[in-house]
Amino acid sequence: MSLSHRATRWALGAAVATSLIVAGSTAGAAASNSSANTRSRTSTKSNLVEAVVTAFTGPESFIGGVLSAGAYPAVYEINQAGGVLGHDFSVTTVDTRGDPADALPLVERFLGTAKNLVGVCGTDGATANQLLPVFNQHKLTMISDVGSSNFDHTHLQYFWRLISPDPANGLAMAYWAKQKGYTRVALVFGTDTTAQGDLPGIQYGVKHLGLKVVANVSLTPDQPSYQSDAATLLAAHPQAIFTEEDATTAGTFFGDIAQLGTVPAIIGDSGTIENGWLGAVSAAIGASNFASDYTGLTPAPAKTTPAHAAWVTAVKGAASHVLKPANQWFNEPYAEAEYDGLIMQALAMVASKSIVPSVFNSWIKTVSSPGPGKVTVYNFAQGKRELLAGKKIHYVGVSGPVNFNQWHNSFGNQAAVRFPQASLSSEKIVGLVKGSVLGAAG
């Protein structure tokens, strides 16, 4: 799932109530930070500030909840281990509203008043093109889950992406279709920009894997009927449909297909892995058909390591700052990626002996890459201890090993998943596409 523009794997609802939401004329309030530090120790130095800059209100408000669920546990863990070079961390949040026109002046005001700001988590897909270059100009390290292919070959020095970009998810869909023996496929995507991110990867995969696109249907969202589109698709006789659209549109479209004929196999991108979408399509085509015919592709869970125990402990410690119930985050890949990114950032500070982004930023790759003589560590406290002892480290977080390429992108495995009961709680992994083949999507 590309969090930058997709529905999250949990129905998150409103923004984090305990976060400081910086909006409009209140942007100057950013200097008052919400801290996840619960220790009684009082730091003799000022806090370092991580800003979660994304949509907390508007259509993409769920993103704020996910990114906060990664940032607050990371800050909790760092502070529990004594902070960095005498400094504790705190978190502040900036609401972009998912609106580029509002976000740019809002963020510029925020940057003009924020104190001790060292890094940014974010942003949402609607504002990434405007905001990420601004953060880069301000030399702020950016830990991002944004999925846009615009950043596949980015030269933004301070940008780091731990989640595979959207085209990789699309390429994984093509590989899955190839594994299942499908040769004739249809593309069915909403015309809204949020549904378009995977298409470059799909198109690359279709071409290089020898698949044939027999129909390409674009759906204007939320129309009362798509019978004409459904008839066009069925007439082309695809074996499988690659798809993403909003839940309402999906329910109507696939319901129309079911009325007119037999529904082909459905291969959804990670934007379809959301309770509303699963439920709408299941109701439209029938529960038994959905259980057997739908497969979604999404970032695969990492192999369980000691890092997962550290992550769970951190989420519990920061539970008052994340959307409840806290245990919904224990296996959520996008929150985990933000957490790992911030832990890497803090370890880079320790390794470089600096809290200045222009100094420590390049060390993120150093502490996250394997190498001879390096000690593998699974949490901030362990990594800090080894670094202070003069050792070199390889941080392996809850997301698993991260290997950044020259554009600060990392490509992980993608899992093929089914939902027999059309709900996230019934998720069943049925296959895997290796991340080593997905970098070609860029």
Query: What are the backbone dihedrals phi and psi of residue 49, each rounded to the nearest 5 degrees, phi first?
Result: -110, 130
Same fold flag, 21-164+304-395 and 167-300+413-441: yes
Burial class (CB in 10 A: 0-12, 13-18, 19+), 292: exposed
**Residue that is written with structure tokens 């709408």 in the block:** 280
- The whole-model pTM stands at 0.77
Question: 21-164+304-395 in CATH: which number?
Answer: 3.40.50.2300
Q: Above 60 in pLDDT, residue 22?
A: no
Residue with tokens 């002892």: 389
Q: What tens digit of pLDDT does each residue of 178-188 get?
A: 999 999 999 99
**CATH fit for domain 167-300+413-441, picks 3.40.50.2300, 1.10.510.10, 3.30.450.40, 3.10.180.10:** 3.40.50.2300
Q: Which amino acid, 91?
A: V
Q: 3-state class of 298 per DSSP?
A: strand
Torsion angles phi and psi, residue 38, rounded to 5: -105, 5
pLDDT value at residue 442: 54
Please list, residue by residue across 417-428, b when 16 or more beta carbons sit within 10 angstroms of its beta carbon and e when fewer do: bbbeebebeebe
Beta-sheet pairing, 428-433 with 414-418? antiparallel
**Which of 77, 79, 121, 78 is closest to 312 using CA atoms?**
77
The pLDDT tens digits for 237-284 are 999 999 999 999 999 999 999 999 999 999 999 889 888 999 999 999
Per-residue tokens: 184: 């004739």
Q: How many CB atoms lie within 10 A of CB 32?
A: 10
Band of residue 8 on the pLDDT scale cut at 50, 70, 90: very low
Q: What is the pLDDT of residues 186-215, one digit of tens each?
A: 999 998 766 777 888 899 999 999 999 999
Per-residue pLDDT reduced to its tens digit, 331-350: 888 899 999 999 999 999 99
Domain ranges of the chain: 21-164+304-395, 167-300+413-441
pLDDT band of 441, cuts 50, 70, 90: low
